[in-house]
Structure 1
Amino acid sequence: MRVIPLRVLSLGLLAGLTIVAWAPGVPPAFGDDLIPAATIDGEGPGWRALGPEDFEDVNLGADAWTWKDGLGHCRGTPVGVIRTRKQVTNFELVAQWRHLAPGGNSGIFVWAPAKALEGLKPGHLPPGGIEVQVLDNGYTEQFEKQTGKKADWFTTHGDVFPVGTSKMNPFPPLSPDGSRSFPRERRSLGVGRWNHYYVRAVNGEIRLWVNGKEVSGGDRCEPASGFLCLESEGSPVEFKGLRIRELP
């Protein structure tokens, strides 16, 4: 195996790629081994870190999130969100996340409209925005055990879907009801392990890379400008390496 560092600029959007190349005849590994992929690291011109000074509480209370040395810890209760202090339109986002309990649930809201956040009561999530799902792999088993229903309407590997009043034309493969873009590969690592998300949102189109490979997304998003939100939904979760680059 060879690790080849590259710096790539494509239409001014992509920078800082690390390509993992595998020797001929050696199959790529997944799970406990290195994931073969190109990872955008959020370094280069225009990128900046996101930290506690960039977010404000919406409906959680001051102690739901704590920050130390670039790591944001969310205790998971109550249910709700924090949001960026400013709205964004076209951007790239890098985020690493890990769940600290089996079956953890969280998410990143993109382009959440101001109206969806105004007066949002504790225990509720915004009724608007495009959600980039952040689920632990154990959520599927827990859902089926608790409900007795088949978990065929979601995955734990990077679903992207519109929430509430927001709209999106999802890229295939689709959920059974056609509302979600399902990931093309199973890329997420389990509880306690760091996962890497790269989100590119440009001109109403959103695309998600999970651990280095593009898996899901959609276009014709409405609205295509708004706040970024980090979600608290019942289980402790941590984020680190949050970096953003705003685009024209």
Structure 2
Amino acid sequence: MKRLAFLCLCMSIPALATAEEPPAEAARQPGELVVGVGPGWRPLKEADFAHVNDEADTWTFADDKAEIRCKGTPVGVIRTKDAVKNFELVVEWRHLRSGGNSGVFVWAPPKALADLKPGHLPPGGIEVQILDHGYAEQYKLSTGKTADWFTTHGDVFPVGSSTMKPFPPLSPDGSRSFPTKHRSWGLNQWNHYYVRGVNGEIRLWVNGEEVSGGAQCQPAEGHLCLEAEGSPLEFRNLRIRELP
């Protein structure tokens, strides 16, 4: 997440009230979910990841439950051991604290991960953002303004040395693909991301509907990373299918 000054400021804001009760299952499934089952699909487990700039207890894998728990600190990432080019990825996630911030980095180049110090995020890759709705609420409390440079429903944007032509609608500065629909559920509720990256084009589906993405990504090959950014969250049912 950019705007580090705001990130530091909002760390001092008390957590907001607990989340609303999850909606009925029927209300949660407006679109057909890609669950990652079939020829070529495989789970991503602890053996598929390499540590980058975390601590021993930052990430906890429960492969028998297909879950990955992240305590959120220090800020940083873990990466897939192997780089990927064309792929489909399924990720389920939920934030455990109001205002939580995380993401999935796509096509992060090896040089952006080399010698990365704790407290830093890779200076390269395409970020598929994972934000709790409380992040926008805390931003408004701290600044008195309604956020217009990010959303909490699945922004996609290039980081550092990477480039991308975002799909509209765009953020005011044109750097981010904003979601066409508000599809993310709130605190403590499981969300479903389906990400497809093919020939430099990245597309994101949130809870069954396509919402954002971009084309002409450079580089269009690299590691997939899970992000810790100061707040606890959980991932589950990570599954990938590599494509020609």
- TM-score bracket relative to the smaller structure: 0.7 to 0.9
**Cα RMSD (Å) of the superposition?**
1.1
Q: Which residue of the partner structure matches residue 46 of structure 2? A: 52
Paired position in structure 1 for 2:182: 186
Equivalent runs, 1:235-246 vs 2, <5 Å: 235-246=231-242
Question: Are residues 1:146 and 2:142 paired?
Answer: yes
Q: Determine which of 112, 118, 127 is the counterpart of 2:108.
A: 112
Question: Does 2:129 align with 1:129?
Answer: no
Aligned length: 219
State the Cα distance separating 1:31 from its structure 2 match: 5.1
- For structure 1, the residue ranges without an aligned partner over 5 or more in a row are 1-29
Q: d(CA) in 2 for partners of 1:44 and 1:201?
A: 18
In 2, Cα distance between the equivalents of 1:171 and 1:65? 32
Match of 1:40 in 2: 34
Cα displacement string for residues 154-199 of structure 1 (whole angstroms, at most 9, x for unaligned residues) = 0000000000000000000000000000000000000000000000
Match of 2:80 in 1: 84
TM-score, structure 1 normalization? 0.86
Decide which structure has the larger Cα Rg and report it: 1
Quote how far apart the aligned CAs of 1:150 are: 3.1
1:228 matched residue in structure 2: 224
Secondary structure of 1:97's counterpart equals strand
Partner Cα separation in structure 2 for residue 31 and residue 213 of structure 1: 17
Contact 1:31-1:189 at 8 Å conserved across structures? no
Distance 2:235 2:189 in 1: 11
TM superposition outliers: structure 1 runs of 4+ over 6 Å:
none
SS at structure 1 position matched to 2:111: helix
C-alpha contact 2:148 2:172 (8 A) present in aligned 1: yes
Q: What is the deviation of 1:105?
A: 0.4
Moved more, 191-200 or 32-41: 32-41
Q: Which runs of 5+ in 2 are unaligned?
A: 1-21
- Read off the aligned partner of 1:144 and give its amino acid letter: K
Richer in helix (by share)? 2
Work out whether residues 84 and 222 of structure 2, in 8 Å CA contact, stay in contact via their aligned partners in 1.
yes
